[in-house]
Structure formats: structure tokens, C-alpha cells
Structure 1
Amino acid sequence: MNELIGEIKNSKKETLEYEFHQGSTRDRNLLIIGHGLGGNMNRLVVRNLALAASSEGLSVLRFSFSGNGGSGGLFEDCTLNKQVEDLKIIVTRMMELGWKPIYAGHGLGSTVGSLFAASSPGLRLLISIAGVVETEKFFSREFSGISADEGCMWEDPEYPLSSSFALDMKKVRSTLTFAANIELPWLLVHGTADLLVPLEDSLSISKDFPEQRKLVEIPEADHVFSEGYMDQMIEVVLEWIATQISESLKN
């Protein structure tokens, strides 16, 4: 079905890899799914959610940010702001084709979603899965002992740690301030045993907005919802989307 959308390039003329899953419903709602740091559109959280959503009738577009997976660009050029621009390109293209975008991001992919939603129109619903809120703290926990432009994330040469990424994470610092501008219905799903991104990140960004932002904690689930927690996470996400779409039809 990708031929119906055509090639998608970002502002740097880098091709963005994506996979479109045509759903059976005709309401033109579209779930766009973005991956986390060092991931791509084929990571299990992204792929399994996409397949489950499309099997329920919802159309889905999953993609790889530039510098990741099969997309063009270099990993060392990846920053939050560049990924926000990637997402903007995709949302704009799909809206031009008549779709009503819903965005779900995992890890730093959810950070990208919240930064986009705070600055640009277009999204109907926002979903954060094990999302990073405190970007500076996340960077310090994971990479404080690594020299930017010299070392690699997780000691893996495929993921060089760039100074541009480091500066961007520290400049954003936290999405709490940006998120104050988000008025969309927002679902946050977080495992209580997530050792990479603490549950407190999702608690902090949802606690003052009980009607607009819904936090679902999944007991004992880790960052990637392994050990059988994947299905539980997916069920929470799909039920919430269905409820939101149903409620919107009543208004």
C-alpha cells in the first residue's frame, strides 16, 4: 500500500522509511507510530502495535526517523528537533491525503510526539508509551561517562554519541513546560518495572490534568513490555483509541 502514499523525504531530502497498513474502517483515522532511541519501525513495540491496530480495522503508518533503520541520513545527526521535523513531514503528508492523524511514540519517540503536539496542529490524539519526559536526566543516566563525538551509546559503533544529540537533550531538559500547551486527549502507558525510563516521568506530566491525560500503569512491565506484557499494553492503547473515536462521534 506504500505506493498510494509515495516517497516521503524530510527537509534534508533524506528518504523516510515507512510501512502503511490499510485498515478496514473508512473513517480516515490513522495511527502513526514512532520508535525510540536506537530503534526503527521494526522494533517489536512498534511492529506489534501496528499489526494489532490494523487487524482491528485501524489504518496505521509506522516509520523510521532519519538516520535509523532504512531511512536516509546519519544516526549521529539525530536530535529531538530533527525528529520533530520528520514527524511534521509525515503528519502533513497524511493530512494532505485526507487522513486524521493519531500519534503513538515509544521512549524518546513519545518525547518527539509531545514536542510536536506542543508546537504544531494536526494530531487528533496523542499516546506516550514508556515516554521520556526528563530528557536531561535521561541523558545523564545513560551517557554521562561517554565523550560526545568520540564514544558510542551502549558501546555500540552503530550508535555514535554526537554533541548535537547531547546538546539537544540538555536544551530541551524536560517536556513538562512544553506539554502545558497540549490540549489533546493524551494516553500515557508505563510499566512499573521500567528501569530505563522511570514511571515518575509519566506521573509528573499527567498528574495535573486528570480529565485530559490518562495514565495507565502496567505492574511489573519493563521498558519494552517483555515477558507477556506486550499484549496488555496494546490492549490498553487500542481500547483507549476506540473509546476516543466513539466519543468524538457523539459530539
Structure 2
Amino acid sequence: MAQQHRVIIQNSHGEKLVGILHDTGSSELVIVCHGFQSSKDRIPMVNLATALEKEGMSVFRFDFAGNGESEGSFQYGNYRREADDLRAVVQHFHGKEHTVTAIIGHSKGGNVVLLYASKYRDIHTVVNISGRFNLERGIEGRLGKDFLQRIKQKGFIDVQNRRGKIEYRVTEESLMDRLTTEVHAACSAIQRDCRVLTVHGSMDKIVPAEDAVEFSKSIANHVLCIMEGADHEYTAHQDELASVVVNFVKANLHLHKDTTEPQLCRKPDRGGRSCL
């Protein structure tokens, strides 16, 4: 059993990032990143950490600034700044008892780990779970069709929940941060010695599965897994998601001398689900 420790890391803006270290005693450390308006304690992050821990790997899951227990105010966009948060985490562990060997991100966190890989190039195993390739899509659903006109006039848009309570404010600056984050350019900049896995659910209603295909076209060393029937949160597919991710990470760690191609995406067994 791994020992769990609460770890606080300061980012480049002086904000404290809060995370949980699952320390198995292994020097190999995997970092797990959450998505939009999420946290380290959401089910996909906890389940992935537990699955990796069972395989003997140490894991760190943390909250980006402005999310969960971490300091800072929540900001729409912020992709590049969250990549810098991840940088602070990697540097914290660098040269200590652990060596960061893989980074995993779900949803927006998937974009963050790819941006990190394109910029810093010191991690060679990356897992993008349900990231969004086309960042222009999905905005109307949250902000309304006339979002550009409204934000130009007022300078911000307050996003409300069904009860009319304001959940967060989108400023023009934060909106433009999202619209000017060039995913294709970042993916093309990822070096060939960085192995990338993209996992995406075929029934994802938040980010369409065709975005996963675009990642596969833009990243040189890439494995694509479309999980049949899975939604954005992998509600009924947590075990399958964990299996695919763990197998990929294990195959690329120095812990495993076997260099054969991992069997990540199988043909459906009778009565089972498929990963195509």
C-alpha cells in the first residue's frame, strides 16, 4: 500500500498548489492533471492514481491554481498558465527521491500536458484523455451564440448555473487566452521521442471524438484509442480507462524491459465493450 502525503508546491506566481502524493517507494512518478472546473479529487483522477499505485508506481495528483484547494482565482482559459503550474510541480520533484516519467491529463488537463510537452520536452510519456483539439468549439454552449459581441461591449460574461447563481466570470482577456492557444502548433512541436496516447470516448457529448483523430494527425509519435460507449467522464468505463492508461505508461517506463507494442485497443470480446 502506498503512503499518501499532502504536498504543497509554490507556482511561479507565488500561489500554493495543493496535491496528494501516492508514494509507493518507487522513484518513478506519474503526475495526474484534472480538467476544467475540476479537482484532484474527482473520480477519474483518483481512480487513475489508484490503478497506477497498484502497479507499484508513485503518483501525484494536484489542483491547478484557482481550483480545488489551491490558491488563486479561477480563470477561464489559462491553458498556458496551467502548463506553467505543471512545470512548477515537475521541478519540485526533479532531483529528489522521485523522477517524473509520465504526465496524464483529463479534458482540459489533456491540453495542458500536451502544451507542456511541446514547450519543455523533458517528459517522454504523455497521456491526453478527452482533450479538445478545436478550442473554438464548446464556447457557445457555455457563453451563448453572441458571446464575442457581448464580451466586447461589457468586458466580461458571468456564467450562471441553472439556479441563476454565478459560477465564474469570463473576461475578454481570458477568452482570448483560449482562442489564441494554438493546439495544432503545440502538437506539431512535440518531439518524436515523446510518446503520446490519446484516449477518447465515442459517446463524449462535451468534446467530440473527432478531436481525438485530429490529435493523431498532428503528433508524430502517437497512439489513438477511441473507447466505445464511453462518455466524457468515463462514467461506466473507469476500469477500462485505467487499464488502457496503465498499460501505456508501464510499456514506456524503464521498469519494463519488454519493448513490444502494448495491446491497448482490443477487438470487442463477446459481451464486452470495445476500445477501437
Q: Same fold (TM over 0.5)?
A: yes
Alignment of 1:197 with 2:198, yes or no, is: no
**How far did residue 7 of structure 1 move?**
3.0
**How far did residue 181 of structure 1 move?**
1.4
Distance 1:195 1:12, change over 3 A: same
2:75 aligns to what? 76
1:22 aligns to what? 23
Alignment of 1:188 with 2:198, yes or no, is: yes
AA at the equivalent of 2:233: V
CA deviations over 1:103-153 (Å, ceiling 9, x no partner) = 000001111111111011221200000111111223344334455533116
1:94 aligns to what? 93
1:13 aligns to what? 14
Aligned 1:44-193 pairs, distance under 5 A: 44-76=43-75, 79-97=78-96, 98-145=98-145, 147-148=150-151, 149-152=156-159, 154=161, 157-172=166-181, 174-183=182-191, 184-193=194-203
Q: Secondary structure at the match of 2:246?
A: helix
- Alpha-carbon distance in structure 2 between the residues aligned to 1:170 and 1:232: 33
2:274 aligns to what? none
AA at the equivalent of 2:112: V
AA at the equivalent of 1:137: R
AA at the equivalent of 1:235: S
**How far did residue 29 of structure 1 move?**
1.8
**How far did residue 2 of structure 1 move?**
6.8
**How far did residue 6 of structure 1 move?**
5.2
Distance 1:153 1:82, change over 3 A: farther
1:207 aligns to what? 217
Q: Secondary structure at the match of 1:132?
A: coil
- Alpha-carbon distance in structure 1 between the residues aligned to 2:233 and 2:125: 22
Q: Secondary structure at the match of 2:169?
A: coil
Which deviates more from structure 2 when the two are superposed, residues 146-155 or residues 49-58? 146-155
Instruction: Using the aligned pairs only, state the percent identity.
Output: 25
Q: Do 1:15 and 1:71's aligned partners in 2 also have CA atoms closer than 8 Å? A: yes
Q: Do 1:66 and 1:78's aligned partners in 2 also have CA atoms closer than 8 Å? A: no
Alignment: residue pair count: 245
Q: State TM-score, norm by structure 2.
A: 0.81
1:237 aligns to what? 245
AA at the equivalent of 2:51: A
Distance 1:166 1:218, change over 3 A: same
- Alpha-carbon distance in structure 2 between the residues aligned to 1:78 and 1:9: 21
CA deviations over 1:202-236 (Å, ceiling 9, x no partner) = 101113657x210111111100001x211111110
Higher helix share goes to which structure? Answer: 1
Q: Do 2:44 and 2:238's aligned partners in 1 also have CA atoms closer than 8 Å? A: yes
Q: Structure 2: state its 5+ residue gaps.
A: 260-276
